[in-house]
Amino acid sequence: MKQATISLMVLLAIAISSCKDDPDPVYELSVTVNYPEAYNSTEAEGVWVTATETSTGRADSAQTDASGIALIGKLPAGIYNVSAALQLSAAEAGAETGIEEEIYLSAVQNNVSVLNDAQLTLQLAGASLGGLVFKEVYYTGSRTPEDKRYFSDQYYEIYNNSTDVIYADGLCLGVVNAWNRTPNISPWLEEYPTKQAIESFWYVPGSGEENPINPGESLIIAQDGINHQTDTLGNPLSPVDMSGADFEVFVVRDDNKDLDAPAVPNMEFGYATFLGFDWLTSVFGCGYVLFRIEGDVDAYVESHKALKPGSESDKEYVLIDNDMIVDAFQTYADDSETGMPKLHPVNDAGFTFDPNGTYTGKCVRRKVKAVIDGRKVYQDTNNSTNDFLNDQECQPRQ
């Protein structure tokens, strides 16, 4: 009996040891990447595809072959965000589209379950490089010496990333209607795959050629165009002086609660679902959009309003086509919101955020790609995860 007991214990120990030695299963993700429909080719070769596990941040990459397929192996079971990126030279773009202009293409699919070997198809989309881009955006706000919240120092720096003069007249700055609860995907994105729903926007005044932005120069739009560090209505702990801004956003109200800085011209009001005494964009982050409306702005707004899909609210938003967008990027409260995009991937395939939360006095800033004859060229891959630095000191026009 004693010998049998010992034998049983030995067998049990072997079984336990065998279980411990079994490695965790891993799987292969096969990703097929295709060019946009209008391109001459279908399969996209040479595209880098990255699968990022959402809970650990582990990232694995592979490049597509001549068939447009990237095989990413040895992936632990999990939920992955999968992105693809490809930059075409002017010659390569010309062969595909007939237009010789450098293009950056990208695609993303979030919340991909890899519980077995899996397959996925991504279709690239993108835009030509250059033009106007968000260079630096300060949305988090700051703290006063009394530790109170201060947000009137928000600003948006828009940079001419091209080699040509671009006129800002009529340029619209807006934010999209956000979605931060279940279901993970915004009903706007599902219902309108080629449009964005604008919650509020303002636009630069002018008849067409009154507000030039030279190559390598910026236009700054401030919430309030004052020196926030020294003005009696400001905050001495604010990181910025906005008295030199090009424009400010002034909310006309019967109670005159908004501050109108006389030295800084006002933006024109476009539309808003709601306005307080300032045009405050969320200190937790937004989807920011630069776009242009052809023709009369008021007429466009009236003819392009829509109710939120699935909502009983009578609040209306303004729909714009993706091809009206000049530049866009999205910020989140933190890196846990990756499954809740505000923008279509064609407008921003990634996101950025402030790792220290709100009222930090810090901004997000686009990365410098190159310096050509003293002119900075900023990175614009339509993926703000790659394109932006976060937790940055505010340095407008620098």
Q: Which domains does the chain carry?
A: 26-126 (2.60.40.10), 132-393 (no CATH)
One pLDDT digit (tens) per residue for the chain, 398 residues: 445 555 556 555 555 555 555 678 999 999 999 998 879 899 999 999 999 998 888 999 999 999 999 999 999 999 999 999 998 988 998 888 877 778 888 898 888 999 999 999 999 987 666 799 999 999 999 999 999 999 999 999 999 998 889 999 999 999 998 765 555 668 888 899 999 999 999 999 999 999 999 999 999 999 999 999 999 999 999 999 999 999 999 988 777 778 899 999 999 999 999 888 889 899 999 999 999 999 999 999 999 999 999 888 999 999 999 999 999 999 988 877 666 789 998 899 889 999 999 999 999 999 998 898 899 999 998 899 999 999 999 999 99
Q: What is the DSSP string of 120-174?
A: EEEE-EEEES-SEEEEEEE-S-EE-TTS-EE-TT-EEEEEE-SSS-EE-TTEEEE
pLDDT at 238: 97
Q: Determine the 3-state secondary structure of 276 from DSSP.
A: coil
Cβ–Cβ < 8 Å for 235, 242? no
pLDDT at 184: 60
Cα separation, 77 vs 277, whole angstroms: 49
pLDDT at 181: 57
**Which burial class, exposed, middle or buried, applies to 132 when counting CB atoms under 10 A from its CB (0-12, 13-18, 19+)?**
buried
Amino acid of residue 49: V
Q: What is the DSSP string of 62-111?
A: EE--TTSEEEEEEEESEEEEEEEEEEE-HHHHHHHHS----EEEEEEEEE
Q: How far is CA 126 from CA 164, 248, 321, 383, 394, in A?
A: 21, 31, 14, 10, 29
Q: Where are the alpha helices (DSSP H) in the chain?
A: 2-21, 90-97, 187-191, 297-303, 384-387
- H-helix or E-strand containing 196? strand 195-203
Cβ–Cβ < 8 Å for 172, 202? yes
Amino acid of residue 269: F
Q: b/e string for 248-280 if b means 16 or more Cβ within 10 A? A: bbbbeeeeeebbebeebbbbbbbbbeebeebbb
Phi, psi of 342 (to 5 degrees): -95, -25
pLDDT at 127: 66
Q: Determine the 3-state secondary structure of 8 from DSSP.
A: helix
Cα separation, 252 vs 141, whole angstroms: 22
Cα separation, 282 vs 331, whole angstroms: 10
pLDDT at 338: 63
Cα separation, 6 vs 10, whole angstroms: 6
pLDDT at 205: 98
Paired residues of 29 in beta bridges: 72, 118
Q: Determine the 3-state secondary structure of 2 from DSSP.
A: helix
Cα separation, 139 vs 49, whole angstroms: 31
pLDDT at 392: 96
